[in-house]
Amino acid sequence: MSIDLSGKTALVTGAASGIGEAVARTLAAAGAAVVVTDLATQFDKAAAVVEAIVAGGDAAEFRALDISQEEQWISVTKHVRERYGALDVLVNNAGVVLVKPLVETTLEELRWISRINIEGVFLGVKHAVPLLRLRGQANPAGASIINFSSAMGIKGYPFGSLYSMSKGAIRLFSKSIALEFAQLHYNIRVNSIHPGLVDTAMVAHESEKLSALGAMGTSTSEEMRQAFQNLNPLGRLGTPQELANAVLFLASDLSSFVTGSEMTVDGGETAQ
Ligand SMILES: NC(=O)c1ccc[n+]([C@@H]2O[C@H](COP(=O)([O-])OP(=O)(O)OC[C@H]3O[C@@H](n4cnc5c(N)ncnc54)[C@H](O)[C@@H]3O)[C@@H](O)[C@H]2O)c1
């Protein structure tokens, strides 16, 4: 059985590259009209993603959106209402990482990571809920919010405490609003996704920073990448497409009884 998202509208944040790009392409290929969003500075990359989707006969458009800026959420959700009438799927994918010993970390860095990884997700949910409720009323399978947390939102890891703090917040935020929206009969399902190490620019950045700190006995980013692969029982990094496959399920009506769940897509890393 193939998954069909025809007639649905999805908004994906941080969709110019990495996991978000794979999510946007996958949802569009399944038939959804996809609003590809990312920072205005990522316009060229985002435009290429949209161009490839449209060239394949599917539907997408780009809207600039810095998720930490409330007025930008207001403007993008207003556009979605005017153009599509409502929203079926919100994928809060955009995020940033910080790799540093705690004692060198500043309050400003905590505020920076919180503004994006926590406030950005809160703002997205808050401003998209009225649009998602409209679809929840019309579709017994419910509208769907998918929030990106991390394996680091479940387990602790050295040199990533602020990132773990932010991703742990997303895990329980997602569960709490899943319960609240069910109790309020919004018919909006909410789930968090917890990737392990996935082969994107974020992991390249992490391996460089961690090897410079000598983490796990490594001294080069190549050694760190190998150490990353050994962190999970499957012994490799995940691909952006493997994360997009999980999002596809949660976005679709096939996951109609799934809410408040934390889906690990981590090669078994957090099962250990
Ligand atoms: N790659 C991994 O190993 C991994 C592991 C666990 C969790 N995650 C999570 O998965 C999500 C995607 O990660 P990725 O590896 O694709 O990251 P990435 O760094 O490759 O891409 C992130 C995207 O988000 C965008 N972005 C950054 N700040 C933004 C902002 N303020 N507003 C809007 N867009 C912004 C970037 O421009 C970029 O396109 C993130 O939430 C990340 O924390 C990734």
Atom number in ligand 1 closest to CA 15: 39
For residue 179, pLDDT over 90 is answered with yes
Rounded mean pLDDT of 6-26? Answer: 98
* Positive or negative: CA dihedral 184, 189, 193, 199: negative
Alpha carbons 174 and 181: distance in angstroms, whole number: 10
104-129 confidence digits (pLDDT tens): 999 999 999 999 999 999 999 999 99
Distance in Å, CA 202 to ligand 1 centroid: 7
Q: Is 50 domain-assigned?
A: yes
Atom number in ligand 1 closest to CA 17: 39
Percent residues over pLDDT 90 in the chain: 99
Q: Is 105 domain-assigned?
A: yes
Note whether 39 and 47 are within 8 A (CB). Answer: no
Residue 44, C-beta contacts closer than 8 angstroms, at least 6 positions apart: none
Q: What is the pLDDT of residue 1?
A: 72
Residue 143, both tokens: 């509208």
123-148 confidence digits (pLDDT tens): 999 999 999 999 999 999 999 999 99
pLDDT classification of 79: cutoffs 50, 70, 90: very high
pLDDT classification of 30: cutoffs 50, 70, 90: very high
Rounded mean pLDDT of 19-43? Answer: 98
Q: Is 223 domain-assigned?
A: no
Question: What are the strands of the beta sheet with 262-265, ordered from one edge?
Answer: 60-64, 33-38, 9-12, 89-92, 143-148, 188-195, 262-265
Supply the DSSP symbol for 140: T
Q: What is the pLDDT of residue 268?
A: 98
Note whether 31 and 88 are within 8 A (CB). Answer: no
Q: Nearest 5°: phi and psi at 135?
A: -75, -35
CATH number of the CATH domain containing 253: 3.40.50.720
Q: Is 145 domain-assigned?
A: yes
Say whether 248 sits in a helix, a strand or coil.
helix
**Binding site membership of 94 for ligand 1 (Cβ less than 6 Å):** yes
Helices (H) and strands (E) in the chain — how many of each?
A: 9, 7
Q: Nearest Cα to 28, choosing from 15, 42, 45?
A: 15
* Mean of all residue pLDDT scores within the chain: 97
**Binding site membership of 64 for ligand 1 (Cβ less than 6 Å):** no
Active site residue 163: yes
Alpha carbons 126 and 136: distance in angstroms, whole number: 15
Distance in Å, CA 183 to ligand 1 centroid: 31
Q: How many residues are present in the chain?
A: 272
**Binding site membership of 42 for ligand 1 (Cβ less than 6 Å):** yes
Q: Is 209 domain-assigned?
A: no
Q: Is 46 domain-assigned?
A: yes
| 37: Cα within 13 Å, side-chain hemisphere | 26
Alpha carbons 101 and 262: distance in angstroms, whole number: 28
Q: Is 208 domain-assigned?
A: no
pLDDT classification of 4: cutoffs 50, 70, 90: very high
pLDDT classification of 2: cutoffs 50, 70, 90: confident
Q: Is 104 domain-assigned?
A: yes
pLDDT classification of 271: cutoffs 50, 70, 90: very high
* Positive or negative: CA dihedral 76, 82, 84, 85: positive
**Binding site membership of 153 for ligand 1 (Cβ less than 6 Å):** no
Count how many domains the chain has: 1
Angle at 20 between CA 14 and CA 25, to 5 degrees: 125
Cβ–Cβ contacts within 10 Å for residue 142, how many? 24
For residue 48, pLDDT over 90 is answered with yes
Domain that holds residue 134: 9-198+238-267
- Enter the pTM of the model: 0.98
248-258 confidence digits (pLDDT tens): 999 999 999 99
Note whether 260 and 181 are within 8 A (CB). Answer: no
Distance in Å, CA 96 to ligand 1 centroid: 6
